[in-house]
Homo-oligomer: A and B are copies of this chain.
């Protein structure tokens, strides 16, 4: 971020009056440009005992497996975002049940939400961002090929709840990646 999106002027980094953090402030018009975390919303969708997974056709983590999920858009609710992403990535129609996982990812400035959901029918497919979609049994989940830590967390939380016969909200904050 170098230029003001309002006037095209050069941005400076300074702490505005009454604030405690450095911000991008326009040297020309004074506009303060805040940067805030983004929401990624998806779901753990099931048909009978099987779980919907998609294999990624895009970077990052091309070829790895994920739950359908993506950046929430303006003008929608979190449940609508999960429903839309599932349709776009897995061509699958779902009914949202309840929020299952809330995972903060501070080092990427993101918050990930995963809903528990029920497929309305077993027809699935591969949207433009997926190589393939599958309905997979718990014992066949390719744990070593899951794309993201938050997806593994959401899957394990769902499976633990299902085994216990009681569903709740699971919260987690991911630590930064290990630097070796």
Contacts and interface: CB of A to CB of B under 8 A. Distances in A.
Nearest to A172: B77
Report whether over half of chain A's contact residues are helix, strand or loop; otherwise say mixed.
loop
Contacts of A5: 1-5, 11, 33
Contact of A104 (B3, B78, B102): B78
B35 A98 contact: no
A110 to B, nearest CB: 10
A154 B72 CA distance: 22
A41 to B, nearest CB: 9
A36 B4 contact: no
A7 interface: yes
Given A3-B7, A3-B8, A5-B4, A36 B72 contact: yes
14 contacts: A3-B3, A8-B8, A34-B71, A36-B39, A36-B72, A72-B111, A75-B109, A76-B104, A76-B106, A77-B104, A77-B173, A78-B111, A80-B104, A169-B169
